[in-house]
Chain A
Amino acid sequence: MTQSDVLVAEPKPEPEAAAPVRRHRRPLAALPYVIIGIYLLTAFFGPMLVDYDPVATSVKGRLLPPGSETATGTAWLGTDGVGRDVLAQVVYGARTSFIIGIAVVFLSGLIGVALGAIAGYFGRLPDMAVSRTIDVLMAFPGILLAIVISGLLERGMHVVIIALSVGGWVGFARLSRSITMSTRERDWVDAARIMGVSKPATLTRHIAPFLAGSVIALATIELASAVLSEAALSFLGLGLPPDVVSWGQSIANGRDYLATAWWITVFPGLALTILVICIGLVGDKLTRRYTRTRD
């Protein structure tokens, strides 16, 4: 069961819900939000503060350990195999991850919600077409399609975004379809129909608002998986042009120096891991909230 299945499934009463009466407030609960905030700030403003030239090389400044002095200042996280600053790679990589992650979630969310809502509301042929497409895409691992698409087509950020969205919209479509199907049967939808509200207006004004919470929860989870998939693709050397800095690419670059210069691989990977865990924590929290309050 993937995360989207949890959202799709009918909310079940949690067996342990009765036991703890009232949890006292945990100050740590805010931590993931704070960390994601720091990442966002870094992605937005970091590139203005840190200079990075992806094609510059420095023979003297190669493979310096963290904290070394270089010609341009202190390399807090060390330098890589051609003398580029690892900290700068982490900062620029954050920007790439967010741009691609957010674009993928936005694109696949838009397509998925639209198709899912149409399938759930109109049923019959539209539902058949969307559901069978979902079945097909569910059966085949999305990362493989992404590898084939981003590896064979011309390199570019937009290609990576499209490649990851091809499989990404399915979760949104399943979720929207199932919520639309149950909301369609509610009294206010009948009332709208009797009052002569058109079908598109009913769908957008009386049904779509009920998708919002669950879709946002799913979007958070999908953001984590898009960031992860992008890193995996650039780790494999597929998709992004070589001059776009990305964590996956830095991790791959550091593999050759693993025994002597661990910092090239460890820091970008750590940056990726912490971000994905924090987004996952937030997504989990949102999922729990919206599966409980639905209906």
Chain B
Amino acid sequence: MIHYLAKRLAIGLLTIWGVVSAVFVVIRLAPGDQATVALGPGAKAEEIAALRHSLGLDESLVVQYFSYLGDVATLDFGQSYRYGRPAMQAVLERFPATIELTIAATVIAILVGLVLGVVAGHRPGSLVDQAVSTFTLGLQAVPPFWIGIMLILLFALQAKMLPSAGGGSFPHLVLPAITLSIPFTALVARMTRSGVAETMTEAFVQTARSKGLTETQVLGGHVLKNSLIPVVTVVGLQIGTLLGGAVVIETVFAWPGLGQLLVSAVGNRDYAVVQGATFLIAICVIVLNLAADLVNAKLDPRIRVEARR
């Protein structure tokens, strides 16, 4: 187990290094460096040269890279020219909103997905199963950002039930959370369905039925527990995808989170914020993946055995 965790942790560190380096490379390839972007098109050549010198941009790329890695290690991403303060501060400020949205979406996805999956998997091949499977296939394929706009059109503009943009209150959370949960709900439903369908053929289900348990008791007490393991694995593995989706959905709903900050920072070429935001997202994904691994090992003894090998 220790060995397994150490391996996962090493991959996590490797990932952070990879993301940080990739962002470094992209920024160096981009037209215009930090100095020209920060000073704007009207700046004089001497001013640019001076700022470039103070930012260390006149050093060789290798020197820049290692000093950048050093900055990252001390969580110093530099000043955001747009916000006039340390980039990490701006990034951390937006972080809770993204967490709130992601958790809300995860809860919706798990609740709705489990119910759909159990209903469908209970009788594989039945009409209900076919209906749910078609529905979830559709959910998985629809573009979430467009569905988000359609929800705004229906519930905010036509029915005037919910606010269309912004954050801060529960009604604001409803539409973005539902939108973000859509592909995830479909995934959880499909995983649960195949898990339940497989478990239904086990002998212990037969035994439970023979004991005279009601179908609800059989499903709740015996089947669901045994089909949850793949669901937990998927939830853990897809946290990254969910955060990626949040970036787009936050922009649709003007949700004041990390994703919206990242997209506008990319648009404004606010490199310090881009670096800080991608770094924080990478950390999140890795920590959550690791957590999911641990939960999984707790749930499923087979993983512990495999990890020992």
Contacts and interface: CB of A to CB of B under 8 A. Distances in A.
Contacts of B251: 236
Contacts of B143: 228, 231-232, 269, 272-273, 276
Contact of A139 (B30, B200, B286): B286
A136 B244 contact: no
Contacts of B11: 132, 135-136, 139
B237 A1 contact: yes
A135 B15 contact: yes
B125 A140 contact: no
B27 interface: yes
Interface stretch (A47-55, A141-149, A171-179, A201-209): A141-149
A231 B248 CA distance: 11
A142 B142 contact: no
Contacts of A1: 187, 191, 230, 233-234, 237
B23 interface: yes
B285 interface: yes
Interface string B193-234: 000011011000000000000000000000000000010011
Which of B125, B141, B241 is the most central at the interface, judged by chain A CB atoms within 10 Å of its CB? Answer: B141
Interface of A: 1, 15-16, 19-20, 132-133, 135-145, 147-149, 151-154, 224, 228, 231-232, 235-238, 251, 255, 258-259, 262, 265-266, 269, 272-273, 276-277, 279-281, 284
Contacts of A20: 125
B295 interface: no
Contacts of A272: 143, 146
B247 A143 contact: yes
A290 to B, nearest CB: 17
B146 A269 contact: yes
Interface of B: 11-12, 14-15, 18-19, 22-23, 26-27, 29-31, 124-125, 137-138, 140-143, 145-146, 149-150, 152-153, 157, 187, 191, 197-198, 200-201, 230, 233-234, 237, 240-241, 243-245, 247-248, 251, 262-263, 266-267, 269, 274, 278, 281-282, 285-286, 289
Contact of B124 (A19, A148, A152): A19
Contact of B142 (A133, A137, A236, A273): A273
B222 to A, nearest CB: 16
A258 B151 CA distance: 11
Contacts of A232: 143, 145, 248
Nearest to A283: B141
Given A140-B19, A149-B26, A273 B137 contact: no
10 nearest CB pairs, A to B = A141-B244, A151-B266, A16-B124, A269-B146, A280-B141, A136-B18, A152-B30, A143-B244, A277-B141, A139-B15
Contacts of B281: 140-141, 144
